[in-house]
Chains A and B, each alone.
Chain A
Amino acid sequence: MISYGEHRFPGKLFVVEGTDGSGKSTQLSLLYQWLKAEGYPVFLSEWNSSPLVKDTTKRAKKRRLFTPATFSLLHATDFADRTERDIIPPLKAGAMVLADRYIYTAFARDVARGCDRAWVRDIYRFAVKPTVAFFFRAPLEVAIGRILSGRPELKYYEAGLDMNWSDDPEESFKIFQGKILEEYDRMVDEFGLTVIDATRSIEEQQMEVREIVRRHLEEGTVVAE
């Protein structure tokens, strides 16, 4: 089994990370449009999208079957399928792969739910190390404000209600997001995440993202061993 950091593929992998409401998906789709327009073969891979696992996850959320351990392992299953199906093959073919959420989402959420930091990291050891992992950092109040104004009701696991921090969904969500943000901040140095200030305008952020991506495209598509 090839470990994190040891994969060598001609393609490039760009991932976006951040708390809910950080604006990362907007940024990723703008990046996608730009790379396509530039003529690159681009492949988009989203969190929780494995056809083999999706129904199980959906059912488990509906029936509230998850514990922190099974939440973690089922999401790892989903991610493994994405890696084996959607990420490694296009990277081998030399394509640009864009991932909306990556292993860092799992690390942040699972540890916030009480899973052991080292255990979760070891489970995901098979993941391909991204060319660049962008972390869209928005202060807690900003991200929470964006989420709460934009949707009618918080979902059970999204709000972290399974953890019994608070009976109030909004309160629970704030506690959960706070813990997640703390974990992201720890990971900036550990994994060399590229921090983008998500309070700036969409255009400014996108310009910075494209500038960074451009530099990696100029390196040429074939990475020497």
Chain B
Amino acid sequence: MRQMTFYGTPLPGVEQEPFNGKLIVIEGTDGVGRSTQIAILRQWLEARGHAVLDTGMTRSELAGQGIKEAKQGHTLGRLTMQLYYAADFADRLENEMLPALRAGFVVLTDRYIFSAIARAVVRGVDPQWIRRIYDIAIVPDVVIYLRINRAEELVMRLLAAGRKFDYWESGMDLHLGDDFYDSFIAYQTRLLSEFDRMSEEYGFRVVDASRSIRRVAADLRRIVAHVIGEGRDLARRGTLIT
């Protein structure tokens, strides 16, 4: 059991009783391998008997569809975008993550408030303002940051996966470069440095995501095992046998 702690002002109208579940955040920029790692982690957790909920940005029932549609027109303003993401986040926090945490689930979330903060700040939004909005977020049990050194590496992964440059992932709304490639590099480089800045502020567990999928997955398992107390259980079982 742990207390429900918020970064600042708590969610309105939410009973703040302790809960049993674990909130595990996987953060990292576009194309760093978050969803692959989450799928592996989920399988591993379920094999060990843990109930898992996975969720991620723009997947809310409330605002997911609206955000997708708003992004198609490219008329989504800077501040409007941040608040739309915040509404999506709050909906998932209250209606997906919190009920699962109360029921004792391990909640794996593909991005949390940090991607939203990074995207806002590189767009020139006041860093204090965007943090204040996300005061209502619950402090997770761990934030694992899949870190990559250079934006060029992301491009290679993107192309290797057969994907194309996306307007927003390339930060085209910021007009940072002449084409998608230049814009992507400039935008993602800014995001990476914003993540580095937050790493200390929020105490990220940094995992080097430049390595093979298998090695990154092994690191994630080790961190998560510790968070959910698996390590301790195994140790106890060990003493019983001897």
User: Chain A: residues with CB nearer than 8 A to chain B?
Assistant: 1, 3, 50, 52-53, 55-56, 60, 65-70, 72-74, 76-77, 80-81, 83-85, 113-116, 118-119, 122-123, 125-126
Bound: A83/B81 CA distance, A: 13
Q: A1-B126, A56-B63, A116-B9 are in contact. Are A70 and B83 (CB under 8 A)?
A: no
**Please, which residues of chain B bring their CB within 8 A of the CB of A118?**
9
Report yes or no: A73 in contact with B132, Cβ–Cβ below 8 A. no
**Please, which residues of chain A bring their CB within 8 A of the CB of B83?**
73, 76-77, 80, 123
Bound: A85/B78 CA distance, A: 11
Report yes or no: A74 in contact with B12, Cβ–Cβ below 8 A. no
Bound: A114/B13 CA distance, A: 6
Report yes or no: A69 in contact with B80, Cβ–Cβ below 8 A. no
SS class, residues of chain B in contact with chain A: helix
CB distance from B71 to the nearest CB of A (A): 9
Report yes or no: B79 in contact with A126, Cβ–Cβ below 8 A. yes
CB distance from B81 to the nearest CB of A (A): 8
Report yes or no: B62 in contact with A65, Cβ–Cβ below 8 A. yes
The size of the chain B interface, using a CB distance under 8 A, is 36
User: Chain B: residues with CB nearer than 8 A to chain A?
Assistant: 8-9, 11-13, 61-63, 65-66, 69-70, 73, 75-80, 82-84, 86-87, 90-91, 94-95, 124-126, 129, 132-133, 135-136
Could you name 7 residue pairs across A and B whose Cβ atoms are closer than 8 Å?
A: A52-B70, A67-B91, A70-B90, A73-B87, A84-B77, A85-B75, A114-B12
**Please, which residues of chain B bring their CB within 8 A of the CB of A67?**
11-13, 90-91, 94-95
New A-B pairs, 5, CB < 8 Å, besides A72-B12, A83-B79: A55-B66, A70-B94, A118-B9, A119-B8, A119-B136
Q: A74-B62, A122-B129 are in contact. Are A52 and B76 (CB under 8 A)?
A: yes
Q: Rank and list the top 5 A-B pairs by shortest CB-CB distance, nearest first.
A: A56-B66, A84-B77, A73-B87, A1-B126, A77-B83
- Closest A residue by C-beta to B78: A84
**Please, which residues of chain B bring their CB within 8 A of the CB of A55?**
66, 69
Report yes or no: B79 in contact with A1, Cβ–Cβ below 8 A. yes
Report yes or no: A122 in contact with B79, Cβ–Cβ below 8 A. no
Report yes or no: A65 in contact with B12, Cβ–Cβ below 8 A. no
Report yes or no: A1 in contact with B129, Cβ–Cβ below 8 A. yes
Bound: A28/B11 CA distance, A: 35
